[in-house]
């Protein structure tokens, strides 16, 4: 068994044990990835994925559980999505860790190996993209600009506004466009695709070349999942539960 496989096996075992106790303790758990740590190579390297998921994301999950009172809510994807709107009003810890958990959970499932699911948006999403940005390339250019323009740490987002049109924005730190009451201007929208612009997401491979990381991201976007996020949830004003399948019902993280 390779080092990468052993690492994946360990996190799978830990995840299974935590999930088994989830219902009893009402805690959020670290979701397993729907692919191996090295599956996104050469675009995103295995070491970054292992540290990003197993260390950084795990810390957000632990921080969120510590910040929420016992019995505060269920530990499923729907509950995590629902928490986002009120997270800023629940204190800095819930805002940072709750946002960090949601953002990363959505980030993982919106990616897939370059040889995996469809490399193009569905007809429905493609039409919305063309209507707003003129073309898929036009959307990618605007999104990449948002990711590059976010000073310091944060995220770039593609989402659906209340009027049903698509929009692009960026947020600081672990904020996202679902959050209400942020102290800076963020266009209200339901995010369907997000890109982590924190240095820990790319520095091992790309160092200070964020532009190269942003370009590489487009080679691993899972358009099947993003399209489903749009068609099943965001198009109808519903926050996306960050699950691998993006099915019609939420599953436990």
In angstroms, what CA-CA distances link 253 with 64, 173, 227? 14, 22, 21
Residues 6+ apart with CB under 8 A from 121: 129, 136, 223, 226, 227
User: Is there a contact between 156 and 194 (Cβ–Cβ < 8 Å)?
Assistant: yes
53 is in an annotated binding site: no
Is residue 101 marked as binding? no
Q: What is the DSSP letter of 76?
A: B
217 Cβ partners below 8 Å, 6+ apart? 43, 44, 111, 195
Consult the annotation and say whether 76 binds a ligand. no
Which residue in this structure is represented by tokens 């860790």? 97
Annotated ligand binding at 52? The verdict is: yes
Binding residues for Mn(2+): 52, 104, 196, 200
Binding residues: 52, 104, 196, 200
């Amino acid at each position: 068994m390779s080092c990468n496989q052993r690492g994946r096996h360990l996190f799978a075992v830990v995840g299974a044990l935590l999930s088994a106790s989830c219902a009893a303790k009402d805690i959020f758990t670290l979701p397993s990835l729907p692919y191996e740590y090295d599956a996104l190579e050469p675009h995103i390297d295995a070491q970054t994925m292992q540290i990003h998921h197993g260390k950084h994301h795990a810390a957000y999950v632990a921080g969120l559980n510590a910040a929420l009172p016992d019995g505060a809510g269920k530990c499923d994807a729907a509950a995590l999505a629902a928490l986002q709107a009120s997270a800023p009003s629940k204190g800095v810890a819930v805002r940072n860790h709750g946002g960090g958990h949601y953002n990363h959970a959505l980030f993982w499932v919106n990616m897939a190996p370059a040889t995996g699911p469809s490399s193009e948006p569905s007809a429905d999403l493609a039409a919305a993209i063309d209507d707003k940005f003129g073309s898929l390339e036009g959307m990618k250019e605007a999104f990449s600009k948002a990711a590059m323009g976010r000073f310091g740490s944060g995220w770039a987002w593609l989402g659906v506004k209340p009027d049903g049109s698509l929009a692009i924005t960026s947020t600081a730190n672990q904020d996202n466009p679902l959050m209400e009451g942020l102290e800076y201007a963020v266009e209200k929208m339901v995010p369907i695709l997000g890109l982590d612009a924190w240095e820990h997401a790319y520095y091992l491979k790309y160092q200070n070349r964020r532009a190269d990381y942003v370009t590489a991201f487009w080679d691993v976007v899972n358009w099947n999942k993003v399209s489903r996020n749009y068609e099943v949830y965001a198009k109808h004003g519903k926050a996306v539960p960050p699950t691998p399948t993006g099915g019609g019902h939420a599953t436990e993280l």
